[in-house]
Amino acid sequence: MTALPFPFPVVTWDDQEVVLIDQTLLPERLTWRRCGSVTSLCLAIGELAVRGAPAIGVAAGFGLALSWRLAMEKESHITGILARFQKDREQLSATRPTAVNLFWALDRLGSLAEQLVAHGKTADEIAIDLLVEAQAVLDEDVAMCRSLGMHGQQLLPDFATVLTHCNAGGLATGGYGTAVGVVFAAKESGKTISVFADETRPLLQGSRLTAWELQNQGIEVTVICDSAAASIMSQGKVDAVITGADRIAANGDVANKIGTYPLAVLANRHGVPFYVAAPGSTFDAATKTGDDIAIELRDPHEVHEFHGGRATPEGVGAWNPAFDVTPNDLISAIITEHGVVRPPYRENLAKVWK
Ligand code: MRU
């Protein structure tokens, strides 16, 4: 297998293009997809070539930097450039509804562009500033994930076994990872940690991506079918469940990959701590509870098809929500870049993520 530099180069800027590890092709092929237009980047986000809440935010940041540069080739006046940029911002915001990091990054670069225009900066100056800002989104994400990893690893004893769901690793972020970042940080602290990775139907982010990147970093990983989690917990083989998040509401309810909520129920049933690891860019203070989080419904064909063949008879229906919401009372702690936050979440999250 190809050993990658770590943190992984998941999303980068190269020669006026946004360059992504194409996660649809892993683990069979490690290739990069080059997006030279905002439309091609939106397609990549929709197809999950780039995925995971923080990585989507990073990609969107570079997407807006790209948008500005492309608009400069078509428009001679700054108002025309800004109008094209705002259209691209809308197109990017329509790609996936649940991960708040997308909207966080779009707002960050979008309002920066508006301010710079209002202050009379030239189009060339704004192009530079937007790229610097997009790179800052990436660099800050890596720093936040490293920091939350160091806080989170203190929850794990040496030789602990962690169960995780979907992929909340380097591939889902700027390169370091949230839930899996905690495991990487434990390793950096000299601990030996092993991981059970839920395969994560229907798109197998756990078996394809989490297992791949843990193996890449020399960490023992065992893939289980999603339905095996109860048995493995009942046998006392799991010391902690750690997942990532796509959006954390003000009260600590967490939207994450479909199948996270049942894991939290199981962890509570078996007395296993259930942790969520996420950076501040995933916190949405404006969303009061999990009931207010928009859950992406994906194409049923992802359920109907498996391994290139049909998994269901022709003519039956399939329901394919990409995420579910775990109520805050099932969450033992939320691991942030500022430390480990315990209930009551409404008060305590507001203190760390002001
Ligand atoms: O549909 P995906 O693959 O983008 O879903 C990703 C997840 O649910 C992750 O757990 C979440 O984004 C956290 S990533 C650090």
Q: What is the pLDDT of residue 307?
A: 81
Please compute the mean of the pLDDT values over residues 178-207 and round it to a whole number: 98
Which residues, in sequence order, are CB contacts of 76 under 8 Å at separation 6+? none
- The atom number, within ligand 1, closest to the CA of 277 reads 15
- The atom number, within ligand 1, closest to the CA of 178 reads 15
DSSP code string of 282-312? GEETT--SGGGSPPPBPPTHHHHEETTEESS
CATH superfamily of 11-145: translation initiation factor eif-2b, domain 1 (1.20.120.420)
Give the percent of the chain with pLDDT over 70: 99
Atom 8 (ligand 1) nearest CA: 257
Distance (Å) of CA 230 to CA 81, 133, 264, 271: 54, 44, 11, 12
User: Which residue from 205, 254, 295 has its CB within 8 A of the most atoms of ligand 1, so it is best to mutate?
Assistant: 205
Ligand 1 contact, 247 CB (< 6 A): no
Ligand 1 contact, 178 CB (< 6 A): yes
The span from the CA of 48 to the CA of 204, in Å, is 12
Q: Which fold has domain 155-352?
A: Rossmann fold (3.40.50)
The span from the CA of 90 to the CA of 291, in Å, is 24
Ligand 1 contact, 166 CB (< 6 A): yes
Which residues are catalytically annotated? 246
For the chain, give every residue range classified as CATH 1.20.120.420: 11-145
The span from the CA of 210 to the CA of 205, in Å, is 7
The per-residue pLDDT of the chain, averaged, comes to 97
Ligand 1 contact, 217 CB (< 6 A): no
User: Residues 162, 59, 205, 161: what is their CA dihedral angle, to the nearest 10 degrees?
Assistant: -10
Q: Does 2 have pLDDT greater than 70? A: no
Q: What is the pLDDT of residue 4?
A: 85
Q: What is the pLDDT of residue 59?
A: 98
The span from the CA of 65 to the CA of 85, in Å, is 9
- C-alpha 207 to ligand 1 mean position (Å): 14
Q: What is the pLDDT of residue 308?
A: 85
- Residue 354's pLDDT band (boundaries 50, 70, 90)? confident
User: Residues 183, 6, 173, 157: what is their CA dihedral angle, to the nearest 10 degrees?
Assistant: 10
Q: What is the pLDDT of residue 1?
A: 60
3-state secondary structure at position 181:
helix
Q: Mutual orientation of helices 38-46 and 78-93 as an angle, nearest 10°?
A: 10
Tens-digit pLDDT profile for residues 314-345: 999 999 999 999 999 999 999 999 999 999 99
pTM: 0.97
Tens-digit pLDDT profile for residues 151-171: 999 999 999 999 999 999 999
For the chain, give every residue range classified as CATH 3.40.50.10470: 155-352
